[in-house]
Amino acid sequence: MKIIFFGTREFAAEILKTLIESGEHEIPAVFTAPDRPVGRKQEIQKSPVKILAEKNNIRIFQPENLKNISSPFIRHSLNVVCEYGLMIPKNILEEPEYKSINIHPSLLPKYRGASPIQTALINGETETGVSIMLMDEKMDHGPVLAQKAVKITNTDNYATLAEKLLKTAKFLLLDTIRDWVEGKIRPEPQNDSDATFCKIFTREDGQIDFNKTALETYNQWRGFHPWPGVWFVWNGRRIKLLKIAVAADKKNPPGEFSFEENKLFLGTKNGSLEILELQTEGKKPMNAKEFANGISAFRSR
C-alpha cells in the first residue's frame, strides 16, 4: 500500500523509519516542515524527517502551509501523520481511500495539542499512552482507531518517556493500519467533554517558580529534560539545573541554597531540591561540590 507521510520532529522520524523498515508499505513522498535557522548561529537545519527521507530517496515536500495545495499529486491509499506541525485541510485528509490517521502520544481526548508528553510529566501523571485516530479538520479531535496505555514512573523524564511511547507506537501503528484496511476496526468518537489541551512550550517556560513545591518543580524538570531545561536567575546569573532530586525533609527558604555534607540544596515553597548537577550561564556543567567551592559564601562552611 502506498502511504504519504506527514511529520517533522525526531519522534515522527522514528515512526517513518518503522514504516520504511516494515517492508509492508511504499512511501512515495513525505511532507515536512521547511528548513529553519536554529541556535545562536542561526544555521539552517533540516528536519529529522527530511534527513531520513533523503537517505531513503523519498520525494520531499516542504510547503509553508497547505492552503493552496489541492492534492499531494501522488496516487496513494493512506496518509499517516505524526508531529507534522501544520494544519492539514479537509481535501488532503479525505483524498486517500483509507483517509488519514494520526499517531498522538496521549490517551485522547486527554492532552490534545503540541506537548502531550511534557504536560503529562509536569502534571505528575502516572499513566499516559498512544492513540491512533482517524483525522478530521480539528486538532486531535477525530475518532480513535486504537489506544494503548503506558505507565509513567517517578524517575521518567521527557527522554525516557518518549522512548517508551515510541516503542508502543511502532507496534500499534502497523497493527492498526492492517486492521483498519481490512475493515476490522470501528472508529470510536472521542468524548469532547473530557478533552484537555496542552500548549507549545518555549525556553521561558523552564523558569522555576519558587512559589511551587519541590515535587512540582521536580515534575517541571522531568517534563523539560533535556529541553528546554529548568532554570532560575541567582546573583544576576542564569543557572540551569541539569540533574535534581526531591529532598522533602529539607526546609531551605524558597530560592536559597545550602551546602551540607557535600550536598547542595535549593529551597522551594514546600521542601527542597537536592542539586546533583547544574550549569551557570557561560560555564561548563558542574556537580554540587564544584559549584559550592566556587562561591565565597560557602567557603567558610
Q: CATH number of the domain at 243, please.
A: 3.10.25.10
160's CB contacts (< 8 A; 6+ apart) are none
**283 HSE (CA, 13 A, CB side):** 17
How many domains are there within the chain?
Answer: 3
Question: CA angle, corner 227, sides to 226 and 233, nearest 5?
Answer: 100
Domain identity same for 93 and 106? no
C-alpha closest to that of 205 among 182, 184, 229, 189: 229
C-alpha closest to that of 5 among 16, 14, 17: 16
Domain identity same for 1 and 82? yes
Mean of pLDDT values over 203-230: 96
Are β-strands 257-260 and 237-247 bridged in parallel, bridged antiparallel, or unpaired? Answer: unpaired
Domain identity same for 176 and 231? no
**Helices 10-22, 48-55: inter-axial angle, 10-degree rounding:** 30
Residue 297 has pLDDT above 60, yes or no: no
DSSP the chain: -EEEEEE-SHHHHHHHHHHHHHSS-EEEEEE-PPPEEETTTTEEE--HHHHHHHHTT-EEE--S-STT----SS--SEEEEES--S---HHHHHSSTT-EEEEESS-TTTTEES-HHHHHHHTT-SEEEEEEEE--SSTT-SPEEEEEEEE--TT--HHHHHHHHHHHHHHHHHHHHHHHHTT----B---GGG--EEPPP-GGGGB--TTS-HHHHHHHHHHTTTTT-EEEEETTEEEEEEEEEEETT--PPBT-EEEETTEEEEE-SSSEEEEEEEEETTS--EEHHHHHHT-HHHHT-
Domain identity same for 170 and 211? no
Last residue of a domain, one of 65, 98, 131: 98
Can you give the residue range of the structural domain that contains 261?
203-299
Domain identity same for 210 and 195? no
Last residue of a domain, one of 35, 70, 98: 98
Residue 61 has pLDDT above 50, yes or no: yes
Domain identity same for 106 and 196? yes
In this structure, what CATH number is given to the domain that contains residue 24?
3.40.50.170
**Over the chain, what is the mean pLDDT?**
93
Are β-strands 100-104 and 78-82 bridged in parallel, bridged antiparallel, or unpaired? Answer: parallel
Residue range 248-283, pLDDT digits in tens: 888 899 999 998 888 999 999 999 999 999 999 888
- Strand pairing partners for 150? 128
Last residue of a domain, one of 98, 115, 133: 98
CB 3 within 8 Å of CB 31: no
- What pLDDT is stored for residue 300 in this prediction? 43
Residue 73 has pLDDT above 70, yes or no: no
- What pLDDT is stored for residue 75 in this prediction? 87
Domain identity same for 185 and 210? no
Q: What percentage of the chain reaches a pLDDT higher than 70?
A: 96
- What pLDDT is stored for residue 87 in this prediction? 92
Domain identity same for 196 and 207? no
Domain identity same for 190 and 229? no
Domain identity same for 92 and 117? no
CA distances from 72 to 4, 65, 94, 100, 277 (A): 8, 13, 12, 13, 48
Model's pTM, two decimal places? 0.93
- What pLDDT is stored for residue 299 in this prediction? 45
- What pLDDT is stored for residue 162 in this prediction? 97
Domain identity same for 236 and 290? yes
Domain identity same for 213 and 292? yes
